Amino acid sequence: MAAPSTGRPVSITVAAVWRLEVKPPPRPPKLTVAATIGWSVLTLAQVILGVVYFKECPQQPVIPQYLLALALTQLLMIPFVTLSCESDEAHPQQHPKGVKACLQTLNIFFRIAWVLAGDVWILSVYQPNYDPAAGDGLYCNKNLYTFAFWYAMWETFLFWLFLTKLCRGFLCGVMMSPPPTNNDFYRNV
């Protein structure tokens, strides 16, 4: 059984000749207090605007539901991001396993699909009629639409930023991989 990691490099001496230094893997970053507060305020704003203006956008009635579903996915992410089921002392550097990892992945995929669908819904009525006294009855509350529009743009920007970093990581991984040391093709056949 291995001793729990202290976060410092461990020196191992083998046969009094070799001295190896093993560094522990880095810990996953924790959310800062400011990020947690900002995240909570945005989630609360989504819930409030989605509930208060639930029937205030007949031009695109899905927008309040979009905000409420985004808030729900954020609330479902709390156990995976901020509150761990296991303490750091018991399992210091383990990734989520099994059902927890599967649920986290499904939540992330649903969130990405929902944000992209929300972009379509919000941008399909770009610059809606804000006047509730309009003759055709198709309008959207200005507070609801403006918040949904800018939040959708922010989420889309973060999605593309994440995708860019992922592609850059794959590209760097391919470019920096060492060439094969054995160049004799026929020996390996």
pTM: 0.68
Q: Does any domain span residue 103?
A: yes
Q: How many domains does the chain have?
A: 1
Q: Does any domain span residue 147?
A: yes
pLDDT for 52 beyond 60: yes
Q: Does any domain span residue 8?
A: no
Instruction: Kindly state the helix (H) or strand (E) to which residue 109 belongs, with its residue range.
Output: helix 99-123
| Cα angle value 37/65/45 (rounded, 5°) | 25
Q: Does any domain span residue 188?
A: no
**Token pair 């509930």: residue:** 51
Q: Does any domain span residue 52?
A: yes
| Domain housing 44 | 33-86+94-173
Q: Does any domain span residue 43?
A: yes
Q: Does any domain span residue 82?
A: yes
Kindly report which listed range (52-61, 79-88, 141-150) carries the lowest average pLDDT score. 79-88
pLDDT for 47 beyond 90: yes
pLDDT digits (tens, 9 = 90+) for 117-153: 999 999 999 888 888 887 787 889 999 999 999 999 9
From residue 136, alpha-carbon distances to 59, 104, 123, 189 in Å are 10, 43, 20, 74
pLDDT of res. 31:
67
Q: Does any domain span residue 80?
A: yes
